Chains A and B, each alone.
Chain A
Amino acid sequence: MGAVNFLKDVVNFLTKPELFITFVAIGFFLALRAKRLWTPRVALVLGVAAALFVGVSMLDRNFALIVKKPDNVPIVAMLFLVGFFVWLSLYQAFRNDDRMAKGEPPVEGTPEEAEKTWVWPDLVYTELLAMVIGMIVLVVWSLALKAPIEEPANPARTPNPSKAPWYFLGLQEMLVYFDPWLAGVVFPSLIIVGLMAIPFIDTNPRGNGYFTFKERKVEITIFLFGFLILWVNMVMLGTFLRGPNWNFFGPYEYWDVHKLLALNNVNLSEYIWIRGLRWKLPGNMLLRELPGILLVLFYIVVLPGLLAFRHRILGLPIGLKKYYDLLGPWRYAVFVMLLLSMIALPIKMVLRWLFNLKYIIAMPEIFFNI
């Protein structure tokens, strides 16, 4: 009993946002390098392990309560599906990379794969079967999990926690770190704009019609980082690990409404003026936020330029000169803006975890906080 509780406490500890997101991010990069491991057997083992983990965890009452909620069951299913399809596509990509390294064409290029099939009866038959199976799944699902009808809406009683639909939980999680204007308007717009801009900035002609990783390393890494770490991961966090008052609760932790966590966050201007220089905050808003303004200006004005003209910065291979040369100034500008915006999120998160940083620029008078 004690050992089980100890394990549960360990899991609860490791799933704290600062640790969890960090480990998942690091794990992601390591996994992309460990091509040897992307075999069906490893995938099967991992899949079964994940299923076992969920299954065994269901014995814990708190875990079961969250996972069995009719709203959350499809999220669990989707997480398995996401894992499966990411594995499937990268497995095929690595397989193709190996073949192409040997000089063979990718699997999609082999004559067998290039054949056509008839719409009738083959495709249509498959579609029919897909419909029948889909129907069965839906009916069984609706019999097992009834759609919840909750209490009459009462403006005097807000549900706690008050969660957005699952597809917005990533944004709701971002609200922890960013001002609502940024997290709710600017970033979602940038996401959509960014997705639309992909054809404009991704001029790599390779990988058309066949899976490959080596030929599209950067593109795939950036996209998967944004999708898996900054989107799916946040959705999972928001669904399973956020409880009443948007407090963090480990998967085996009881959702205690009374749990209190001190959110003593400090603005950059306060750090510099009050704690650093031991003065009082300047009355003039621009002067007060000058450090933050300079930092942000550096980030969005100086850094892109710096990256454009260097291959390496301070010895690290993070220069983007290659892309500047490839894309040209306009495409590069769009690309680097989107990239820097995307990276800003994990940067801010790390700053929050390490320094309890609230805002880099805090101008509540004009509702502008970064």
Chain B
Amino acid sequence: MAIKNEPGRDPQMVERTQKLNVVFALTSIGLLVVFSLMVWADYDREWKKYQKKFTGLEVQLTEKQIQDALGKVDAGRRAQLDQLLARGKEEMASRRSEIKKAEGAVEKIEGEWYRVDQDYRFTKAEIDVARYDYEEAARHGAGSAGKKKGHLDELEKKWQDLRLKLEDVERRRTEARARVAELEKTRLEADKTQKELYAEKTRLEEKLKAIKPGFVSFVRNLPILDMANPSLKVNQIMPANLFDDVIFTGTPKVDRCTTCHLGIDKKGYESAPQPYTTHPDMDTYLRGAHPVEKIGCTGCHQGRGRATGFQAAAHVPSTKEQEKAWGKYTGSDTYHGFHFWDQPMTARGHTESQCMKCHQGAVEVPKAEKLNTGVFLVEKYGCYGCHKIKGWEGLRKVGPDLTRIAGKTSEEWIYRWIKEPKGFRPTRMPQVWDVRIDETEDQKARNNVEANAVVAYIVEKSGKDAYTPPPAGDLEAGRKTFETVGCLACHRIGNDRRGIDVAAPDGTVQKKMDAAAFRTHGPNLDGTGTKVDAGWLYSWVRDPKGYWHETRMPNLRLTEKEAADITAYLMSLKHDDFMARPRPALDPKLRDTIVREYLVAQFPTQQADEKLSGMDDHAKTIFLGEKTIGRYGCFGCHNISGFEKTSPIGVELTEEGSKLVERLDFGFEEENIPHTLPAWVHLKVKEPRIYDRGKSKKPEELLRMPKFWVSDEEADSIVTAVLSLTKEQIPLAAQKQLSADERYVQKGQRLVRNFNCQGCHQIGEKGGTIKAVVASHLEAAGVDSASIPSQAMGLSPPLLYNAAAKIGEGSRVQTPWLHDFLKDPSRKIRPWLDLRMPTFEFTEDELNTLTRYFAAQDGVTYPYDPKPALDPAMVATGHDLFTKWQCIKCHVVAGKLPDQDPSNMAPDLANVPIRLRADWLSKWLADPGHIQPGTKMPANFPANPEENAFPEILGGDQKAQIEAVRSYLLTLGPGGLATRPGAPTVPHAKTVANGPGQ
């Protein structure tokens, strides 16, 4: 190419410049390409894909809804509408010229109206100006004031005239319009009908138009242009008062989850694929008590709310398969979690662990079954005995007292029991020895020595009580008493599933965890005859707290005969093959070796050897026993002499749910389980010592947690409970503040749980497991299966709180009576029941808590309830109705049993004035089935006057009749409010069955 050389321009440089021109061109193109790449890289976001896909789903759903709306419109009406529309059209056609003329008239008037209206309004404005001018002039005393006033008056008059004119025009306009409407009547009617008929469809069609992607939305979302008003945008929720913990501060939470999870709060996407699926139980979790605007998403699910990418949000897979499947999100064959966020999302199945952050102190969190079970199991197994957990200190030790064990059982039994507890019967005592997967023979030999030493220590230090043998008892009678007096509400024999497994509506049986059942509150009684001394048992059964002051077993007020019978029965439950297990003798050489190991750790070697040779056989064994108990931490669950003040051996779990994964010791198990906290805890709970596998450790360095032999389901629940122990503090402003009543309910629930009231009574949804036992007895007795449920109900303890009707014991009974009853339940209300409410020996504090609990739960007055004044006339009418209805046919009155099958009998009415609240009586008489579903008490006073059985009494008015009966009942028995005139007196007390043994 011919380039003109500048004067003095070196041709070599010119050539160079031409070469550089080419380079310039290429690099410029390169720069353009790279900049476009940059814009694209910034523009192309993961979440936009998801939003576009969701729009598609939304369009699909809306179209389907339109189809449904159309379908809903009944064909007949559609035909009608079509006819109407057709007629309208015809009409219009036939009157076309008239309509046109009328419309023309309307238009003319419209024009006139516009003019007049404008004049009217302009004149008004002028008036305001004139008024101002006049007032100003008047104020300054100007001479023109008068003229201005005149001008103002003129304008006012003009305005009035215009007003009349306007009104006239408007009237004429209305008329003209009405004429047109009249002409087009049918068509208008048809249009209106159509609009009404298709209202839903029209709304949906408009919605569809708004969301359907088209040219406008395309332009809105173009790069650069999308800074103005894009339809694809990041959505975020910013709950007030919630913060992410970033160590040095808390940043306010910003949850962008709904950028991709677009269907989470919309009905209709329940079966859509993730991330569009509707939230399960949306009304509880996104509205109601946890409105999503207040709580956000990460408050419950954790994770990194500010992220807008899948991995960046710290999603966590819940199974190994899912981990593999999610590899696509990180471009690798398995998914790599997000390492830089300390609170990754709680994996599926453990979301409930986060409930505890706000529901602190709750005994049961509503709807959080897994968490509740987990906490129940932690209480059952007594994890807090070895592991310090803040809020769980000072609780009673979960295992029985061993300070006087020598009188209760034998050394031979103790040895075999502590070697393998579950070999004897289902139990929650864990196994301390021979539980490692890789237990060697050497280790097993050492275990035998240690176990022998422990037995020797315990027996040596135990109190040596001697029990006189019990009187002879009748085994059969004992069995019968045992099974009917109420023991089975807290105890089982063997693998008794009554009251534990639940019958599903479709007839199948749902097996539930026995460890989490009310009937495992007390130990399983299988093999008692092999275990305990008969004299001890006889003494225990009559007075449990005499042996162990902190026992939860209440006093059943057994007579001596009953106690002897039960003792005979329980002593007949043997487990001889357990005692047939071998007990290797203590190997003295190995014992000496182990003792020396302990001594060498404390003293210099030579001194240790001296001490060793200075101890005799017995001293060495006791020494080893003490050290072994100290090593394995038995005192965490049991009171043992010499270990009253020793600190438990376990790791503190107060903030275990927040533990960083890199702080966990996975040992050599890393390839076998996912590298997450829940997986680690799960394996730990199932195989506590497995993280030692493959390591070379000295005996004193080995892991010591015993094995509880929990099922996978139990371990899963326990993991949820452990994960709930976080260090995250939710500000009080974000939590619901419990009212005073709710606090009392919580305190009461804690006592109900501790004393296992629900073993016998149903409170709320759960409990009353003894009813299943009663039902099984009825079945065994050959009762027809259809009537078993209602009969069982009649023979079981009462329902104490109906959750559906929100009415229970609190509204039913008077507080002072409840207090006295709980203190001493021997005064039976239901004398026919074999089941006996035991004496719990509550403290005053506990009595106050319980009575307040029931009252607060129902929201009734505490502790005194209003007592109505009684009208003697009403009392008499009531007595009349009482006789007519023959209440005493079923009801016990002052201890006199009616002539009925026991399952049909009803509570003692002589108690009514001191026991029942008057308010509740009215509600009960009006509708018993609402308060106690399934009760045999008939609804004698129907609301509908036509159905009233005695219309002549008080005019058949249900409310009046109820009040009459109530007034009468409030005069019965001891503590009656007034005497009844002229009625025969009801004999007082002093008859049978206030309860045996009183």
Contact = CB atoms under 8 A, between A and B. Distances in A.
Given A118-B13, A143-B38, A154 B247 contact: yes
Contacts of A135: 31, 34
A152 interface: yes
B38 A139 contact: yes
A351 B28 CA distance: 57
Interface string A136-174: 100110110000011111110100000000000000000
Nearest to A150: B340
A139 B37 contact: yes
Nearest to A152: B246
A153 B249 CA distance: 10
A142 B35 CA distance: 12
B342 interface: yes
B27 A129 contact: yes
B31 A152 contact: no
Interface stretch (B15-23, B524-532, B760-768, B775-783): B15-23
Contacts of A143: 37-38, 41
A136 B30 contact: yes
Interface stretch (A24-32, A103-111, A119-127): A119-127
B340 A132 contact: no
B341 interface: yes
A151 B339 contact: yes
A298 B247 CA distance: 53
Interface in B300-351: 339-342
B19 to A, nearest CB: 11
A86 to B, nearest CB: 27
Nearest to A149: B340
Nearest to B37: A143
Contacts of B13: 117-118, 122
Contacts of A125: 17, 20, 24
Contact of A129 (B24, B34, B38): B24
A133 B246 contact: no
Contact of B247 (A121, A136, A152): A152
B660 interface: yes
A117 B24 CA distance: 19
B864 interface: no
B215 interface: no
A126 B662 CA distance: 53
B31 A132 contact: yes
Contacts of A121: 17
Contacts of A152: 246-248, 342
Contacts of B662: 157
Contacts of A129: 20, 23-24, 27
B342 A139 contact: no
Contacts of B248: 152-153
B27 A155 contact: no
A137 to B, nearest CB: 9
Contacts of B24: 125, 128-129, 132
Nearest to A116: B10
Nearest to A137: B34
Contacts of B660: 157
- Which label, helix, strand, loop or mixed, suits the secondary structure of the B interface? helix
Nearest to A151: B340
A140 B342 contact: no
Nearest to A122: B13
A222 B13 CA distance: 40
Interface size class of B (residues with CB under 8 A): 20 to 34
Nearest to B27: A132
Nearest to A130: B27
Nearest to B340: A151
B967 to A, nearest CB: 71
Which interface class (under 10, 10 to 19, 20 to 34, 35 or more) fits A?
20 to 34
A122 B17 contact: yes
Contact of A151 (B16, B27, B35, B341): B341
Contacts of A118: 13
B867 to A, nearest CB: 64
B34 A122 contact: no
B31 A153 contact: no
A140 B34 contact: yes
Contacts of A132: 24, 27-28, 30-31
A129 B31 CA distance: 11
Contacts of B23: 129
Interface in B214-267: 246-248
Contacts of B31: 132, 135-136
From A121, A149, A151, name the one whose CB has the most chain B CB atoms within 10 angstroms.
A151
B661 to A, nearest CB: 12
Q: Which of B34, B41, B660 has the most CB of A within 10 A?
A: B34
A32 B953 CA distance: 127
Interface string B1-45: 000000000000100110010011001101100110110010000
Given A136-B31, A157-B660, A151 B41 contact: no
A133 B37 contact: no
B23 to A, nearest CB: 6
A140 B33 CA distance: 10
Contacts of B20: 125-126, 129
Interface string A339-351: 0000000000000
A136 B17 contact: no
A154 B340 CA distance: 11
A135 B32 CA distance: 11
A154 B658 CA distance: 14
Contacts of A133: 27
Contacts of A117: 13
Contacts of A140: 34, 37
Contacts of A142: 38
A155 B34 contact: no
A302 to B, nearest CB: 50
A149 B338 CA distance: 12
A122 B35 CA distance: 26
Interface string A206-241: 000000000000000000000000000000000000
A135 B38 CA distance: 12
Nearest to B245: A152
Given A121-B17, A136-B27, A136-B31, A155 B247 contact: yes
A71 to B, nearest CB: 15
Contact of B16 (A122, A149, A154): A122
Contacts of B28: 132
A66 B208 CA distance: 52
A136 B36 CA distance: 11
Nearest to A125: B20
Contacts of B246: 152
Given A122-B16, A132-B24, 8 more contacts: A132-B27, A133-B27, A135-B31, A135-B34, A140-B34, A143-B41, A151-B339, A157-B662
23 contacts: A121-B17, A122-B16, A125-B20, A125-B24, A126-B20, A129-B20, A129-B23, A129-B27, A132-B24, A132-B28, A132-B31, A135-B31, A135-B34, A136-B27, A136-B34, A139-B34, A139-B37, A140-B34, A143-B38, A151-B341, A152-B342, A155-B247, A157-B662
Interface of B: 13, 16-17, 20, 23-24, 27-28, 30-31, 34-35, 37-38, 41, 246-248, 339-342, 660, 662
Interface of A: 117-118, 121-122, 125-126, 128-129, 132-133, 135-136, 139-140, 142-143, 149-155, 157
> 7 shortest A-B CB distances, which residue pairs?
A152-B246, A151-B340, A132-B27, A139-B34, A154-B247, A150-B340, A136-B34
